[in-house]
Amino acid sequence: MPDTDLLPRLGAFARLLHDSGIEAGPRRLTDATRALTYIDLKREADFRGALRSVFVGRKEDIPTFEAAFDIFWAPPDPRITAGAIPGRSRPLRMSPERAAAWSAALGLSSSQMSREQEARSEPATSSGYSAEELLRQKDFEEMTWDETEQVRRLLEQAAWRVAERRTRRMRAGKTGRIDLRRSARHAIRSSGELMQLFRRKPRLRRRPLVLICDVSGSMERYSRLLMIFAYAIARREDLEAFVFSTRLTRITRQLRQRDLDKALEAVSKGVHDFSGGTRIGDALADFNRHWARRVLGHGAVVIIVSDGWDRGDPAQLTAELIHLRRSAHRLVWLNPLIGSEGYQPLTRGMAAALPYCDDFLAAHNVQALDDLGRLLAGLGRRSTRV
The residues that touch another protein, with contacts defined as CB under 8 A, are 23, 25, 27-28, 31, 34-35, 38-40, 45-46, 49-50, 52-54, 56-59, 62, 167-170, 180-181, 184-185, 187-188, 191-192, 285, 288-289, 293-295, 297-298, 319, 323
Give min distance, CB of 184 to another protein, in A.
3
List, in sequence order, every residue forming a beta bridge with 206; answer none if it has no partner.
164
Round to the nearest angstrom and report the end-to-end CA distance of the chain.
Answer: 67
DSSP 8-state symbol, 259: S
* Cβ nearer to another protein, comparing 59 with 221: 59
Reported as type and span, the H/E element at residue 335 is strand 330-335
* Cβ nearer to another protein, comparing 285 with 305: 285
List, in sequence order, every residue forming a beta bridge with 204; answer none if it has no partner.
166
Give min distance, CB of 63 to another protein, in A.
11
Which amino acid is it at 153?
R
Give min distance, CB of 169 to another protein, in A.
4
* Cβ nearer to another protein, comparing 374 with 381: 381
Give min distance, CB of 36 to another protein, in A.
10
* Cβ nearer to another protein, comparing 53 with 111: 53
In contact, 110 and 103? CB cutoff 8 Å: yes
Nearest to 300 by CA among 237, 363, 255: 237
Q: Are strands 199-206 and 164-173 parallel, antiparallel or unpaired?
A: antiparallel
* Cβ nearer to another protein, comparing 137 with 318: 318
Task: Report the C-alpha gap between 94 and 17 in whole angstroms.
Answer: 10
Give min distance, CB of 208 to another protein, in A.
9
Task: Report the C-alpha gap between 327 and 379 in whole angstroms.
Answer: 16
